[in-house]
């Protein structure tokens, strides 16, 4: 897959603009049939409130309906004073702790800003024209869209009768010219924990 520095910088700039605009866009409808109630979000103009049993739990987004714990909020408040600095030893410390906890080498740990960034890294490492992506259909779409935009063949294997990944069919599809096999669990199309195996 070919990416130029110019395209990367342009995409980062677009991402920054979208990220900055996101709080203002939260109240808009997702499409003509789906309206997300404004009260589901805490924006800069709206004070935080405690979730109640009457609040919706947006399972399709893998959201925690209760928000961050008080311990997390305390750490966030403490970190505001140094938020203008690049992480230095903290990054290596976190990787070291994760590697020790999971009994792997530190170089086997990759950190990113959400699964989208990690999936993008996997695509850059393993996919290119001639090295296809094998995934379930339907699945969380970001990796497939990225691959298609880069001219990579995407093979979507339908779920089985129990709405599970058809792993034998995915294995068969992956036997030739495959760069990445993408398995998502739980396999909801909007928010997921993902695993990708590169070849």
CATH number at residue 162: 3.40.640.10
CA neighbor of 181 nearest in space, from 154, 158, 161: 154
CA–CA distances in Å: residue 38 to residues 23, 61, 120:
11, 16, 31
Domains: count for the chain: 1
User: How many residues are present in the chain?
Assistant: 199
Q: What's the domain range around 173?
A: 115-198
pLDDT in tens, 32-65: 344 444 444 444 455 556 666 677 776 666 677 7
Phi/psi of residue 107, each to 5°?
-70, -5
166 located within any domain:
yes
Residue 127 lies in a domain: yes
Task: Write down the pLDDT at residue 195.
Answer: 52
pLDDT tens per residue across span 140-164: 888 999 999 999 999 999 999 998 9
Kindly tell me if the per-residue pLDDT of 107 is higher than 60. Answer: yes
């Amino acid at each position: 897959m070919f990416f130029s520095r110019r395209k990367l910088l342009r995409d980062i700039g677009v991402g920054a603009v979208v990220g900055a605009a996101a709080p203002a866009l939260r109240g808009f409808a997702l499409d003509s049939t789906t309206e997300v109630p404004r009260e589901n979000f805490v924006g800069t103009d709206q004070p935080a409130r405690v979730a109640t049993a009457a609040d919706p739990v947006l399972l399709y987004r893998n959201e925690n309906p209760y928000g961050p714990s008080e311990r997390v909020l305390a750490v966030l408040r403490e970190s505001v004073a140094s938020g203008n600095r690049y992480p230095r030893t903290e990054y290596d410390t976190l990787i070291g702790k994760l590697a020790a906890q999971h009994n792997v080498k530190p170089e086997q740990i990759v950190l990113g800003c959400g699964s989208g960034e990690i999936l993008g890294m996997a695509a850059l490492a393993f996919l290119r024209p001639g090295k296809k992506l094998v995934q379930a259909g339907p699945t969380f779409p970001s990796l497939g869209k990225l691959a298609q935009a880069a001219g990579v063949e995407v093979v979507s294997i339908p779920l089985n009768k129990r709405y599970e990944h058809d792993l034998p069919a995915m294995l068969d599809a992956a036997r030739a010219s495959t760069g990445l096999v993408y398995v998502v669990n739980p396999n909801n199309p909007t928010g997921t924990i993902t695993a990708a195996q590169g070849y």
